[in-house]
Structure 1
Amino acid sequence: MANYLKDENHLIVWPVLKETYYNDLCICNIVMPARYDMTTNELLDACLDTYQVDKEKSYELLLNRADGDTVVPMNISLKEAGLRNGDYLTVVTA
């Protein structure tokens, strides 16, 4: 992973599927490589593939930061969405 992050277009994010929470404790964050030039839709699809969930449902990404959770807009690049290296995300049903 260290060589991956040497490219300025690369970042890692920590998504978790909301359904894996237990009493508001996150028990299943995973690390995912991403690129600033990929779209938020591509990242969401990668998360859904990783967690192997039913893609017939509608999902959205929440960006988890100390000042609160915010919905990540779809169809824009990760850079435009303001994601940073090491950000935590939650995948929730919309």
Structure 2
Amino acid sequence: MKSTLKKLIKIIGIIFMIGVVAVVLYIMANGIGLIDSLDFGAGAYYYADIPQFSKYVNGEHFKSAFPMWIHIVLFLIWGVAMYKLWSWLDKKL
């Protein structure tokens, strides 16, 4: 039973990874998320390279029912959770 479950999880993982790569290629091929007037080639996905980047992420453009600090804390929690997940996967695999 355990080997069947492990095999199923491995197959689902492979399918998931193939799906992720397919979505990434689709995003890159269609230039989703890029600003047409700012073409940095492959570096365009690193928005920190964009001149005057702060005007694109100005807090006035971002509207939310929650204060910004909550978003920042959630982002940090997400980062810690992903680090723990990858560390756990690294030990298991």
Give the TM-score normalised by structure 2. Answer: 0.20
Instruction: Specify which structure has the higher proportion of strand.
Output: 1
Higher RCO (CA-CA < 8 Å; seq separation 6+): 1
